[in-house]
Chain A
Amino acid sequence: MSEKESQRKPGMSRRRFLTYTIASTGGFLASGVLYPMIRFAVDPLLQKGTETEFEDVGPVEEFGKEPKKVEFFIKRKDGWYQKEGGEKATAWVLKIGGEILALSPICKHLGCTVKWEGGGFQNQFYCPCHGGLYTKDGINVPGTPPNAPLDTYETKVEGGRLLLGPIKQRGGGA
């Protein structure tokens, strides 16, 4: 079998051997130049995100059944840039059956910012970009663009003060 095989294919020609040798040497040298540059460019894909710390947003008793907008500042380093005093973040905070719910205002459709009772929509969160709607507890309204409920901040109560931490996704939704 192998004899027949070798008869049909006589050994590699000198020209082909040289082509392969030169191509692989060239390829090796080129990859030595290109590898560092490509690894440099894709570094953001391989970087770990920063840990988010809990931030104080005020006394717990300030929050009731109506979503209330709170603004706070998170410390985050964006490459070489870190905003003095932190990056502004917003949460819509309400109490549902004694539980604190802190909703992220980032629309789950394409990332615009939602507003409680924006655009004249009563008792709903409204996103102005494509008309996304969410109920009071952040569940997306069927028939509007978003396909998941609003994300929530991790919450913690310490000494009567509400602290907000990292954003987490919720399952379910309409």
Chain B
Amino acid sequence: MLKAAYEWLDKRLDITPMWRDIADHEVPEHVNPAHHFSAFIYCFGGLTFFIVVIQILSGMFLTMYYVPDIENAWKSVDYLQNEIAFGQIVRGMHHWGASVSIVMLFLHTLRVFFTGSYKHPREFNWVIGMLLFFTMLGLGFTGYLLPWDNKAYFATKVGIEIAASVPVIGSALATFLQGGEVVGAQTLARFFALHVFFLPAALLGLMGAHFFLIRKQGISGPL
């Protein structure tokens, strides 16, 4: 059944070469944990991607109940967590996944650093990786405000004060982030917009470039 459906599609769209191109590639021995167990350190990039997929999925589902409004944000989070089936699990995935993705990203960065994989000709992919790192930090920072509880509110106040301490552009940056005269309705609305539209779009674009380059340039050689 499945095979027939696949062949029907393949005849018309010629999809086999496309996925072959994506799936069929050499995995050098020095990055294969089946050969050298210590090669598991090469898995952190893939694990980061896996967590990002979970973050995107669980985040999409959370927005089915969440509202970015100061009167209702906390109530909607309380409702989705305590009164909807699996609410605690889905929110838990997003909550813990946020920390795990940063940890994985950091381990991946360490691996790239200590294996010297950032060196010529892969400098540009290191730069993209750094941009990805800051995008992820941005996602963490903007997402932290959304439950609109005390922790969220004061963390954002602190974060905005830190942004304000940046030389020259500090106060403009803080005003941009805060939106209004206080950390309030306008802050929550724009943090939500950044968290679910702007930063994920940047993340997807950068990840595409990151993967394109790694495929184009190949995995760096053994130490």
- Residues of A at the B interface (CB closer than 8 Å) are 33-37, 39-41, 43, 46, 79-81
A34 to B57, CA, bound (A): 9
Of B54, B57, B61, chain A has the most CB atoms within 10 Å of the CB of: B61
Contact A36 B86 (CB under 8 A): yes
- In the A-B complex, list the 9 residue pairs whose CB atoms are closest, starting with the nearest: A80-B79, A80-B75, A36-B86, A36-B89, A37-B61, A40-B86, A40-B90, A43-B84, A80-B76
A34 to B54, CA, bound (A): 9
Q: How many chain-B residues does the 8 Å CB contact rule pick out?
A: 20
Q: How far is the CB of B187 from chain A (nearest CB, A)?
A: 20
Contact B57 A79 (CB under 8 A): no
Contact B61 A40 (CB under 8 A): yes
B16 located at the interface, meaning its Cβ lies under 8 Å from any Cβ of chain A in the complex:
no
- Residues of B at the A interface (CB closer than 8 Å) are 54, 57-58, 61, 64-65, 67, 72, 75-76, 78-80, 84-87, 89-90, 93
A3 to B67, CA, bound (A): 64
Contact B65 A37 (CB under 8 A): no
Contact A41 B89 (CB under 8 A): no
Contact A41 B75 (CB under 8 A): no
A125 to B92, CA, bound (A): 51
Tell me which residues across on chain B come within 8 A of A46, comparing CB atoms: 85
Tell me which residues across on chain A come within 8 A of B75, comparing CB atoms: 80-81
Q: How far is the CB of B214 from chain A (nearest CB, A)?
A: 22
Q: Of the candidates A34, A35, A39, A79, which one forms a contact with B76 in the assembled complex, judged by CB atoms under 8 Å apart? A: A79
Contact A33 B65 (CB under 8 A): no
Contact A37 B58 (CB under 8 A): yes
A65 to B90, CA, bound (A): 55
